[in-house]
Amino acid sequence: MTARRIGRTSVRVSALGFGAAPLGNLYAPLDDDQARAAVDAAWDAGVRYFDTAPHYGLGLSERRLGAALAQRPRSEFTVSTKVGRLLEPHPAPTGSDLAAGGFAVPDTLIRRTDFSRDGVLRSLRSSLTRLGLDRVDIVYVHDPDDHLDAAIDQALPALAALRDQGVIGAVGVGANTVAPLLRVVAEADVDAVMTAGRWTLIDRTARPLLEACARRGVSVIAAAPFNSGLLSRPRPADDAFFDYGPASDAVLSRARRLAEICDRHGTVLPHAAVRFPLREPVVTGVVAGFRAPHEVMSAARWAGDDLTDALWSDLDAAAEATEDRHR
């Protein structure tokens, strides 16, 4: 699988990255063997970029990912994790993190927001312990939307210093909204931004961000290309999710229109969803979450198999028509 460079650094990522949130029991339990099988399938399919975070399953994702990669040659894979949420003992656990955090794990720990220099260093040390690694390649500041001043003034300079010392390879910021990432790219020293769900077949609101990143030499990682599942099936189901909640009738209608176009051109909607972000030179990779071997194997095939200009022309026209109606 093609490897691409992050910004001006020496860090490289595979075109498809393995999003390890499901390894933290996102929405539903996954056992250790299932988690290992998904990572093994990704490796066999050529995936060499793996993304995780303390937030995912209160550390479970990091532990499982580290265990699955433990016997792999360290020079052959890239790992990213995130800072901004410290894990601390929960003073009053309820038994499950599902309602509060979305992960089916015991809530013996609690997340505490901390974008200070000390918080960044503490978080990274804990992540390395859970991963069983002596270094990570990319560290993202995670969801700093409501803490941008602290992220720009404290967290990002702390990570830049670690990068300059050779402790980490690259510095990034990840968010679900575009505005914070635009400010970071304009004001901070970053190598990459991870935009989740904002540069997809059905949501192209990150266009200004891509343009800003191209001007500044910042790489874009397009996460959540299926928009919480909406674009993961050949025909979106009535109960499909979009942006972590049930899709509206209007969104379902738009997605089904895109699915019909794909069908007419002899392909399927999720194939186009994976390939779409990679059309832009500034997009270094696509990261999607996987729970099972067949999911990652299909996505790896799609990531390496481009589609016709005629299909993209029709999909772009459908997207532009939708944008025009909503202006």
Q: Which residues are catalytic?
A: 56
* DSSP string of 310-321, one letter each residue: HHHHHHHHHHHH
How far apart are the C-alpha atoms of 217 and 39, rounded to whole Å? 31
Per DSSP, the three-state class of 221 is: strand
Contact 126, 87 (CB under 8 A): yes
Q: Which of 305, 268, 300, 269 is nearest to 287 (CA)?
A: 300
Contact 227, 202 (CB under 8 A): yes
Contact 223, 288 (CB under 8 A): yes
Tokens 């029991």 sit on residue: 25
Q: Which of 202, 163, 199 is nearest to 287 (CA)?
A: 199
